[in-house]
Amino acid sequence: MRSRWDECDPKETKRMQIKKLRRYLTEQVLPFSPHYRHLAKIGHIPLDDLKDLSDLARLPFTSKKELLPNAEAGSGPRDFILQPSKELIQQELPTGAKLKFLLRRLIKGEEGLQQELLREYNPTQMFFTTGRSASSIPFFLTPYDQALLRETGRRIVRVLGLDPKADKVLSFFPYAPHLAFWQVAACAEAGGILTLNTGGGKAMGGTRIIDLMQRMEPTAIVGMPGYAYHLLRSAHRAGARLSSIKRVALGGEAVSRTLKKKIISLLQDMGSENAKVASVFGFTEARQCWTECVGADNTGFHLSPDLSIVEIVDPKTGEIMNDGESGELVYSTLEGRGSALLRYRTGDLIEGGLTWERCPGCGRRLPRMSSIVRRVSNVKNLELSKIKGTYVNFNSIFELLDAEADIEEWQIVISKPDDDPFEVDELTLHLALAEGTEFRAIIDRIQQRSRACAEIQFNNIRIHNLDEMLERIGMETETKEQRILDLRPMRDSALNKVAE
């Protein structure tokens, strides 16, 4: 399937996916995954009922809560690692798969078979989920999974239209045990692209990276959206010429159309003609990324149907949505060892869902997922009074602020008056504005639009110079910019003190 992953007949591909899923469940997941083996034994995975993709609804969802470490039960991330043993091979595998192992033992010998199993199943690399939550969850890759990461890297290079003979890449992704950095490294290795991984501003510093951009003359740059924009804006102000850059790939955060336009405008001013910006999407739990192509605007993320199944479901009912309908992204792997997930609810809301139509930009025929992604976790509960609360969708606020061409940087701080946990919440918006902006007009516009789209009003709006804002959000010191800073004291802690 890999040789024609990007030229799919939808009906044939869907048949392939369900066939591959059944085999993967039978020969890998149910025998060797502690978590899913337990679910199968209590009847929660009706394998015989999986006839086509609509039958996925018969399988249980996997939630992030199940992935969290549980010290008492000894479960959590490790229970999702495929862990074959001699006993499990003998007791849990179907006869046909068991015979394959016996044949491998005859050919390789006992020691040779054990070495093969180590290469296939023994975790040798660990990624952690990112985000701003306190709990980062580890995910494990074996050498088998690292080969898959390189394969997805090769596909990303092809979709972006990069040529090993002509292109050079400069990456700003922070050096960390996170998917983004290592996916770029895999793109370089599998795609044969000369790549310099700077490790980001925290590792190398923005001034030095800008100097490298001018000396190396990369044809493509990749990184976090906010940091990439910051670097290009700084380079522009320093009078840099970056005419070599033709591709910009941004990942780790949502990429708005406004930001794409701002980046293209900066590059044009610095001598780059026909630069294209693509959004790249991935999450640690999938251990792979997907990219838009650059042949048209917002083409959607080009998926790999032979490596995974992507569903869009109703976030409230869990019902599978039709193609083109919005909903929550649910992910199942079809390949891989290490950490394996089935029907994992990501918390990502995909506006426009999936399509199998040919891509208008590159002509590939494969499933594509809409580029408009919103996080369920960006809906924060803000207690606006001691009795009555309301829900604020910060996705809408992000879009509102990003769409303002006169806003250079921003940060929202949530606090309590006098740090009293029983007081109402206060929202303060910190802004750095473009030179010459009439701040009174933009403040009035923001307050009006925030009331209309999110039913909130900022208690305070404070204006800073750009350097102050860059320091506030940790542009050069944090892995991700601190866009929302929650300084509210915990009410539970206050109650405990009163009780004492």
Distance of CA 493 to the CA centre of its chain: 33
Distance separating alpha carbons of residues 328 and 347, to the nearest angstrom? 6
Adjacent-strand bridge partners of 409: 432
Distance separating alpha carbons of residues 196 and 193, to the nearest angstrom? 10
Structure tokens belonging to residue 450: 């925030």
Verdict on whether the full-model pTM lies above 0.85: yes
pLDDT one-digit tens code per residue, 437-467: 888 999 999 999 888 887 788 999 999 999 9
The highest-level CATH class for domain 383-499 is: alpha beta
The arithmetic mean of pLDDT across residues 276-295, rounded, is 96
Report the 10 Å Cβ neighbour count for 110. 8
pLDDT one-digit tens code per residue, 137-192: 999 999 999 999 999 999 999 999 999 999 999 999 999 999 999 999 999 999 99
The domains of the chain are located at 138-376, 383-499
The arithmetic mean of pLDDT across residues 367-392, rounded, is 69
* Percent of residues, the chain, with pLDDT higher than 90: 68
Distance separating alpha carbons of residues 171 and 199, to the nearest angstrom? 7
Strands (E), 256-322: 276-283, 288-291, 301-302, 308-313
Distance separating alpha carbons of residues 241 and 210, to the nearest angstrom? 10
- Give the pLDDT of residue 133: 45
User: Is the model's pLDDT at 378 over the cut of 70?
Assistant: no
User: Is the model's pLDDT at 499 over the cut of 50?
Assistant: no
Distance separating alpha carbons of residues 445 and 264, to the nearest angstrom? 26
Beta strand pairing call for 426-433 and 460-464: parallel
The CATH number assigned to the domain with range 138-376 reads 3.40.50.12780
Tokens 């991330």, located at residue: 77
- Given a contact cutoff of 8 angstroms between Cβ atoms, the answer to whether 386 and 424 are in contact is yes
